[in-house]
Amino acid sequence: MSPLLHRIDPFWRHFLFYFSYLPSRIECSVNILFLSITDFESKKKSKRFKSDQMATEESASVMDDYEMLISTTDVELLKRAWRNEKAAPEILQFESSLVQRIKEQIELAEQNEEIFEANNIEPLTVSLYQMDLDRTQFLLRSYLRVRLQKIEKYLFYVLKTDEYLNRLSKQEQMFARRCTDDLGSHLDETVLAKLPDNYRSILKQSITSEEDDMVPAPRLDTFVICKAKQYLSGLDFEPEYSMEITEMERDLLTFVCYKFVKKPLENGKIDLV
C-alpha cells in the first residue's frame, strides 16, 4: 500500500484496502469473466466454474458485511468486542476476521509512518498518526490480554468443553494446551505425586468423585450491566428465563444476570457496559 492511497476518496480507499486482502477473490471473478467468454460449455472446466460461482456468492456476502461495516469503523467494533469481553464472565467467540482486519490496518499504518519519515512530512501530522496507531494497538493488546487472562482462569474448563474451545483462536488453543501441560506437570511434581494414589488427579478431589469437581467454571449468574441497541421483546431472550426477563428498553442501562442476556449478546443486540 502506498501513501498515495491516502489521497484517494475515503470510500474507495476503504474499498481498495478491503479487497487488497482478497486477491484470490478478485482472481476468481476475473476467472469467471474469462470462462464466460471462452469455454463456457467446456465440460472439463464446468466443475471449476461451479466452484468459482460459489466464490462470487461468497464475495457477495462479503459485500453485505461491508455495507454494514461502512457505518461503524473496525476500531469501534473492536472497542465493543473489548468491552463485552471484559464484562462477560465467560470467554466469548474470538473475533477472528475483525482482529485480522485490525492487524492489517495497523501494519499499513506502521508502513505509512516510515514513509512519512522518509518524505519529511510535518512532525505534527506524524505524531497524530502515531497517537491513532497507539490507541488502536492498545485496544487490540488489551482485547487479546483479557482473553488470555480468562483462558488462564478457566483453563481446565475451557479445554474440556468443546463449546468454549471452539471460541478460541488457533493460537489461543495452543496457549491453553501448553498452559495446561505446564501447570499439570508443575502440580504433579510439587504436590500431587506426593499424595496418596486416590488424590492424584488434577481435576477431581479424589477418585470417588464422579465429576470433575476441582475445575472452576465461569459463573454465568454473575450480574452484568448492559444496554440494548434496540427494543428487545421476550422473543429475544432464552425461553427458560421468560419469568425473569420479558423486555428491555433501548439504551436503558440494566443490571441483569449474565445468563439471561447471553442470547441477545451473542446476536449482537446488546452491549455490555
Of the candidate residues 19, 66, 129, 175, the single one contacting other proteins (CB under 8 A): 129
User: Which residue is listed with cell 492489517?
Assistant: 104
Residue 223 found at the interface with other proteins (CB under 8 A): yes
Of the candidate residues 189, 244, 266, 267, the single one contacting other proteins (CB under 8 A): 244
Give which of 254, 253, 230, 252 is closest to 244, Cα–Cα: 254
Of the candidate residues 102, 159, 176, 232, the single one contacting other proteins (CB under 8 A): 102
Q: Could you tell me how many residues of this chain bind other proteins (CB under 8 A)? A: 45
Q: What is the DSSP letter of 5?
A: G
Of the candidate residues 18, 35, 69, 86, the single one contacting other proteins (CB under 8 A): 86
CB of 18 to other proteins, least distance (A): 14
Task: Provide the b/e sequence for 133-159 (b: ≥16 CB within 10 Å).
Answer: beebeebbeebbebbeebbeebbbbbb
Spatial separation of the C-alpha atoms in residues 92 and 81, rounded to whole Å: 9
- For other proteins, the closer of residues 159 and 272 by Cβ is 272
Spatial separation of the C-alpha atoms in residues 194 and 86, rounded to whole Å: 38
CA 254 vs. chain centroid, Å, equals: 25
Of the candidate residues 31, 56, 59, 105, the single one contacting other proteins (CB under 8 A): 105
| DSSP per-residue letters across 36-96 | HHS-SS-HHHHHHHHHHHHHHHHHHHHHHHHHHHHHS-HHHHHHHHHHHHHH-SSPPPP-H
List, in sequence order, every residue forming a beta bridge with 241; answer none if it has no partner.
Answer: none
Contacts for 37 with CB less than 8 Å, ≥ 6 apart: none
CB of 29 to other proteins, least distance (A): 27
Of the candidate residues 75, 115, 183, 203, the single one contacting other proteins (CB under 8 A): 75
Residue 252 found at the interface with other proteins (CB under 8 A): yes
Residue 224 found at the interface with other proteins (CB under 8 A): yes
Binding to other proteins (CB under 8 A): which residues in 35-74?
73-74
Residue 13 found at the interface with other proteins (CB under 8 A): yes
- For other proteins, the closer of residues 187 and 225 by Cβ is 225
Q: Which residues of this chain interact with other proteins, rule CB under 8 A?
A: 6, 10, 13, 73-76, 79, 83, 86-87, 102, 105-106, 109, 122, 124-125, 127-129, 131-133, 135-136, 138, 142, 221-225, 243-245, 249, 252-257, 260, 273
